[in-house]
Amino acid sequence: GSSRELAQSLLRRLIESQYWLPLVDAALAHRALDPALPRLLQRDPVRLLDRLGLLLTTPEGIASLPAMARLIRATDNTVLRALETDLSSSRRQRVATAIKLLSTSAPERLSAALPRTLAGWDWSLQDLAVTELTRQTNPHLLQQVAHSFLDLLKDAHLQVVPGMIDLIALA
């Protein structure tokens, strides 16, 4: 048991604050993703998503969106579930971050969450989600999104409805 205790102790120290940011930065670096990094970072999904959300408010952060998506796809389901939970957050920035990260890492989950979340968002969040989903290239996903949009037109803000109708018509 002492080697296990040692490993647990090392793990706790690694995810303490002074090491957290370098771990996230290493996971977003433009090189092969070390498989240990996602496993470490997924242990605190809320903290990981807070950091990614903060990065998304910077010009460099937007550029690292593909690396963020790669990291999220490499984690277990806890990070995706945390993002889905954030879609219902009362904090606007948290919702916007969840929309951006889900649209790049798991757009089908963003689409599936719309029936329970869209009506609660202001028009700008609705517009962000519609815009992000409209950018998708997978034809099967676009079909699903179109069906979802059709059901949600009544819940959408008037400024968002035209974008939804465009996608429905294209699909």
pLDDT in tens, 140-157: 999 999 999 999 999 999
Angle at 54 between CA 121 and CA 56, to 5 degrees: 75
Per-residue model confidence (pLDDT) at position 153: 97
pLDDT at 104 over 70: yes
Q: Which residue has the higher pLDDT, 36 or 160?
A: 160
pLDDT at 124 over 90: yes
Residue linked to tokens 């099967």: 140
**CA distance linking residue 65 with residue 63, whole number of Å:** 6
pLDDT at 17 over 70: no
Per-residue model confidence (pLDDT) at position 13: 67
59's CB contacts (< 8 A; 6+ apart) are: none
Per-residue model confidence (pLDDT) at position 161: 97
Lowest mean pLDDT among 22-31, 35-44, 50-59, 68-77: 22-31
Percent of the chain with pLDDT over 90: 73
Count of CB atoms situated within 10 Å of the CB of 171: 16
Q: Is residue 22 helix, strand or coil?
A: helix
61's CB contacts (< 8 A; 6+ apart) are: 52, 54, 55
